[in-house]
Structure 1
Amino acid sequence: MTLLDAEVAVGLPWESPLGRVDARPVEPERDLALLHRWVTHPRSRFWGMQGWSTEQVREELEGIAASTHHDAWLLDLDGEPIALAETYDPERSPLQGRYDVEDGDLGMHVLVAPPRTPRTGTTDVVMTAVMRWCLRDPRVQRVVVEPDATNDAILAKNLRAGFRSRGLVQLPDKTALLSVATRTDFADSALARQFLRGRPSPAPHLNREAMSAAQRDLVTKALRELVHERLIRPEPVDGRWRVDTGTTTYDFAASAHPLEHLAIDPASVRRLGPDGAELDLDAQALVLELRSALGIPGDLVDIYLEEVASTLQAAAWMHDQRQPSAAELVEADAQTIERSMTGHPSFIATNGRIGFGLDDYAAFAPEAGRPFSPFWVAVRKTDSRLSLGEGLDEDAFYARELGPDHDRFRALLRESGRDPEEFRFMPVHPWQWQHKLAITYAPAVARGELVPLGEGRDRYQAQQSIRTLFNLDHPERSFVKLALSVQNMGFLRGLSARYMAATPAINDWVHELVEGDADLREVGFSVLREHAAIGWTGGVHAQLDPSSAYAKMTAALWRESPVPRLQPGERLATMASLLHVDQQRESLAAQLIRASGCAPAQWLGDYLRAYLRPVLHCLLAHDLAFMPHGENLILVLREHRVVRVIMKDIGEEVMVMSDRPLPEAVARIRQPADREEREMAIFTDVFDGFLRHLGATLSQVGVIDDDAFWEVVAGVVRDHRADHPGLHDGFDFFRAQFSHSCLNRLQLRNTRQMVDLTDQSGSLIHVGPIANPIAGRG
């Protein structure tokens, strides 16, 4: 049972906001005149019964009444007929053989009565009522619809009801868009949220079994990362390890790996009280037990504990659902892989999302994997700034990204008496509109400075970065990155209109540099440009401090899709997936290596030449440092091997670590650093931030031992040095030690904003040297 499912499935009658809705079987003789008028009305043209005689309609209704697999129902609103609904068995319909019918599928058609006096919200109420009616039978698992592909109105309504497109099908009388909604899809849909809001949402995933698994995983991760950051020091005792907090003792089995990585066996972790009695594992309790060692400021402890609780809630949800195994993910598409990830490998409080409720989580969390559509507003050109990448034209850009919605939104503006030429269109996260813009900027909405246009037609899926969305219906179109004023992993996830203005120019400059480098072209390295950014500059808050959270509520950007770059036989996966371990403790990276048929060292060498080599080359040849962690890179796979990588999230996280001349529009990314600090871009962000986890995981599952793993890493660095000896002058990536930079210490110091984006290097916390795993291999 998921979001509101208990109520969604109870059927009719239903006390809707417009009145009591109920259903009754169609009786051909009694209802003939009414239904003949409805189905022959011009607004019902998609039913294909225009010009039908009364006798033809009678024959149709009598045929349905006599059928054992097709039924017709009238929906009444306060006793008056309001809609016709039909249900049918897809296996015995024109859909037979055109899609894979599953047990529990129920086909559905709906016709809203042509209104004498239009009433706002009628079609939403009808669609909600029909879905409740279809799902009243627990045997029904999916509702299937096949509307005409040109019927924009019903396509938009299906989207709000949670239907997911399965592609075009050719039926005898039309080209249809086959769409399916599961019980969960509808329960999590915009219509269910609209009409059932205000009623407590069940939380079946918050059960003892799921939470116990979540607690064990998070406590294990916390112990591992706190040991790594030297906030706690375990002692070896009788072949195991112990951590004494002063009030409790944690006892566990673990293996030690390079970079002070203690790979702890989750099943072995025990928490013991002062009397030696075993206590439940509790991540929040662990934080409090170690509060003094962690050094969390007193006014931030509550916030951090809430982020830990939210992280546990998300983990419990994933444990309670059947997640794909690592073996299944080997063959999965990019978006299935994306929604199966479990968060940042190093941060403890990785899924804070303070501001989301249960309904929001089910609708918008990446791991929920629910498609939704951005909300769109129109903003005056005089009160906004649109920055476009080189060669882009505003009208052509909007037409390409919005498709038919572009003309629809322009029509909505004209219908409201506004000139579309005076406005731009800005996507807004649905949560942001509902909880922030419509409230914080209510006067501006009333004045027509922010004009709500409604949800777009395309369905998107949230990525691991939560505010970045992928277009499911048109994968070739851009990712959309939206302001989202929730607190998550050390930041309020807003977007600054002022800061975003330079983003396309920065991306164009980086793209040109990368494309012009022969070494990068040889390994297939490329970047996804953030090629358009929009920010609303109106409202009273625009006159205040630009660093304020209120100045970061109304901006968005578009990033290129990698899909058009794929060659036959290639597929995509987030690089974060290489660190994924499923609920059975199986490693996805290990499964990929086995499926490829390659020797582990060969597979790793291919991967690291596609990842480590270009990151190293950009640093040495161009003083250019990215933020190359798992979620910021996309792997291109062929036959389960990495053939190249694509870098993303350029505008906010790239930097030039020298005082080299830059175009004025790009100057903000200049952050000069000495050579040792530049080396840290490899040591900290690549070695410690990513390869530490990958090497330990592959060693644990017996794919490749630590020494062999780091020898492959060293070999990639040696090969680059041999090809470009002059670039390595003065740099030493094989030195014995490097400075140990710590991520959780940043968040513990200030969970509201752990890093100053204008001085990222100066915000870091170092805790002495750490042994370099490729030292002496040069």
Structure 2
Amino acid sequence: MPAPRLGEPSVEEDTAWRDAGHALLVRALAELSYEDMLRPETLGGGNYRVTLGDGVEYTFTATRGGFESWRIAPESVLRNGRPAADPMEFLVDARATLGLDGPTTAEALRELVATWSADALLRRNLPTAKVLADADYVELESAQGGHPAMVLNKGRLGFTASDAEAYAPEAGRTLRLTWIAVHPSLASAHGVTLDGELDAETTRAFAAKAPAGYVWLPVHPFHLDACVRTLFAPYLADGRIVVLGEAPDRYRALASVRTLVNVDHPEKRNVKVPLLIRNTLVWRGLPAEPTAGAPAVSAWLHSMQAADPFLATHVDLLGEVASVAVRHPLFDRIPDAPYRYHELLAAVWREPVQTYLRAGDKARSLASMLVVGSDGRALAAELAARSPLAPREWLRTLLAVVLAAPLHALHAHDLAFCPHGENTVVVFGPDDVPVRTMLKDFAEDVNLLPGREYPGLPREADRLLPRWSEGELAHSIITAVFAGVFRPLAVIAETQLGVAEPEFWTLVRAEVDAYRDRFPELAERHAAYGLTAAEVERICLNREQLTGGGFHDRAEKEEFEIVHGTVPNPLVREAAAPADGPADGMPADGAGR
């Protein structure tokens, strides 16, 4: 076969691009329908139609799942009767129905094509399920598909195409960090000392350039160019910031992009650094106060865990043990500036998974349980097959392991982690049976109950940790775990593990009930948090991104309004079926018995 002409894609590249776009279109139809932004009209027999402007309509075949989600048969999607595979065309088709003005549509298209490009790159590099199962924690992060509920989940606006190829996790490349020294009037260090993060020779070389008393921190190469050498140029010029040089250790990005793992010395701490990019609703900086307080929050959480035998047995906490926060003296004087200008320069050092792994253990993020290999086989199915357990028992064990720590933190301590797919790391034994979890991301994603006293909570941590109502704290499990991870996992369970979706939710409910039975003294807290309420709030991240504050520079991140109505809770057997009829395979009352 002759080589393709310049600018002409190869057959493999074209296939990856088309398949990625087709999958993105299917996700857009499903998630925008779930969030009530599109309202498919039933045509009978599991067939639906979405009528848009200018005589355009999309038809597809679907069943309904937990939380009233849509499970669309990919090859059934047609645009005016012809096979459809272009998500950008769909967005333009749907803009009037979605209520998008011109600027919002244009911004959404930017994020959509960036996501499409990232998904195509992911497909080109994606290995089989067998290879995924053999991969280590960092390698597996390169196969993540992004937030399963968000359509524009890899926008990373600010990255050029070459930046994405160099720094995006799916690219699988390594990078080196440049270290800078900052005058103590601008920077403060917190937590443990960073002895050992730099080798002796590099430390000596940097010390020869750094003025005495300056605070050192690493900077991502993209951020050095996009932020430090631009917004901090006056302080580079007057010597308050000094570039020390590039350190030799190589790092790779985890799925969150800004958290980096040392691949030359995996036992060294992970480094979380800001990036001047916007991705999945927010700019990915590091705010000064939470960064400064991260070690105090982690130390308190470690002390709480050590005093609780249940937590000590079921979870390891990847502590944020050191941090450096740098302020910008002029943006600091503009409190109502968009929040990204207050999150420009910092670093956090987190314990790596190796800190808590035992002989034979293997760490995999919870998000990776949603990954499907290039052979169409899910990683979860491959792991279940390798284990000595039957698929249903393997799945039950996974659910039990994942829920243990969040359930106990919420009910016994009135504390909510944010245990979504990236923040939860599942630890597997040598036989690929799940045994416990690790949790991470504490400074910005741990929330407490208003008016409650927390033993040993340092004043610094108390000042930083948000106080949320019981209903809001409950979303740490209902949204982050049940709707965010278990909803798509239920599809894998049904199609590849032989566990029908109604039975899947019965297994989840059984774990919640088993925890209640183990701690009957917490009955009042179980009622307060309402994990088994008949109806739960519908979290709508795409709605907020497209029609709320997702494309606007705000002074505060927390102003997002992401709740829209309610949906039946699949953990409740009496939950009503969707209005247009029961899901396939479920009894008419939606019970899923």
Calculate the TM-score normalised by the size of structure 1.
0.68
Contact 2:339 2:555 in 1 (8 A): no
Give the aligned partner of residue 542 of structure 2: 744
Counterparts of 1:623-772 in structure 2 under 5 Å? 623-638=414-429, 639-661=431-453, 662-729=457-524, 730-731=527-528, 732-748=530-546, 749-752=548-551, 759=558, 763-772=560-569
Q: Counterparts in 2 of 1:471-490, with a 5 A limit? A: 471-490=262-281
Cα distance, 1:253 vs structure 2: 2.9
Deviations 1:153-178, CA, capped at 9 Å, x for gaps: xxxxxxxxxxxxxxxxxxxxxxxxxx
Equivalent residue in structure 2 for 1:340, among 133, 143, 147: 143
CA contact (8 A) 2:194 2:322 kept: no
What whole-Å deviation, never above 9, does each CA across 1:169-199 have from its counterpart, x for those lacking one? xxxxxxxxxxxxxxxxxxxxxxxxxxxxxxx
Q: Which residue of 1 aligns with 2:63?
A: 255
Contact 1:756–1:763 (CA under 8 A) maintained in structure 2? no
Question: What is the match of residue 584 of structure 2?
Answer: none
Instruction: Report deviation, 1:669.
Output: 4.8
Q: CA deviation at 1:674?
A: 4.2
- Superposed, 1:87-106 pairs within 5 Å as none
- Does the Cα contact within 8 Å between 2:338 and 2:553 map onto a contact in 1? no
- Check the 8 A contact 2:296/2:458 in 1, yes or no: no
**How far apart are the structure 1 equivalents of 2:371 and 2:14?**
24
1:216-615 equivalences in 2 (<5 Å): 216-234=22-40, 235-246=42-53, 247-272=55-80, 276=81, 278=82, 280-296=84-100, 298-319=102-123, 321-388=124-191, 392=192, 397-404=193-200, 406-413=202-209, 419=211, 421-523=212-314, 525-545=315-335, 548-615=339-406
SS in 2 for 1:660: coil
Contact persistence 2:285–2:344 (CA under 8 A): yes
> Per the alignment, do residues 734 and 538 of structure 1 end up closer, same or farther by CA in structure 2, a change over 3 Å counting?
closer
Choose between structure 1 and 2 for higher RCO, CA contacts under 8 A separated by at least 6 residues: 2
Q: Give yes or no for contact 1:387–1:534 (8 Å, CA) kept in 2.
A: yes
Residues 177-196 of structure 1: pairs in structure 2 closer than 5 A: none
Distance verdict in 2 for CA 1:685–1:648, change over 3 Å:
same
1:717 Cα deviation (Å)? Answer: 0.8
Shift of 1:609: 2.1
Gaps of 5+ in 2: 575-592
Looking at structure 2, the residues matched to 245 and 540 of structure 1 have their Cα atoms a distance apart, in angstroms, of 48
What SS does the aligned partner of 2:341 have? helix
Which one-letter code corresponds to 2:312 in the other structure?
R
Give distance in 2, aligned partners of 1:451 and 1:702. Answer: 56
The 3-state SS of whatever aligns with 2:166 is: helix
3-state secondary structure, aligned to 2:176: coil
8 A contact 2:339–2:554 mirrored in 1: no
Identity of aligned residues (%): 32
Q: Relative to 1, partners in 2 of residues 1:676 and 1:488: Cα closer, same or farther, differing over 3 Å?
A: closer
1:659/1:670 contact within 8 Å kept: no
Could you tell me how far 1:252 is from its partner in structure 2?
Answer: 2.4
CA-CA distance at 1:622 after TM superposition: 1.0
Segments of structure 1 that go 5 or more residues without pairing to the other structure are: 1-5, 7-199
Cα distance change on mapping 1:398 and 1:672 into 2, 3 Å: closer
- Cα distance in 2 for residues equivalent to 1:339 and 1:227: 29
Return the letter of the residue paired with 2:516: R
C-alpha distance 716-280 of structure 1, shift in aligned 2 (>3 A): closer
Tell me, in whole angstroms, the C-alpha distance in 2 between the residues paired with 1:203 and 1:448: 49
Q: What number of residue pairs does the alignment pair up?
A: 560
TM (normalized to structure 2)?
A: 0.88
Distance in 2 of aligned mates of 1:475 and 1:665? 31
Q: Is the 8 A contact 1:347 1:744 kept in 2?
A: yes
Quickly say closer, same or farther: Cα 1:381–1:676, change in 2 above 3 A: closer
The match for 2:581 is: none
Q: State the SS of the aligned residue for 1:658.
A: coil
- Indicate the residue corresponding to 2:17 in structure 1: 211
Change in CA separation of 1:754 and 1:405 when aligned onto 2, cut-off 3 Å? farther
Quick check: 376-385 or 666-675, which moved more?
666-675
- Tell which structure's C-alpha radius of gyration is larger: 1
CA RMSD of aligned residues (A): 2.6
Per-residue deviation, residues 283-306 of structure 1 (Å, max 9, x unmatched): 122222222333345543222210
Cα–Cα, structure 1 residues 536 and 673, in superposed 2: closer, same or farther, change >3 Å? closer
Contact (CA 8 Å) 1:233, 1:243: kept in 2 or not? Answer: yes
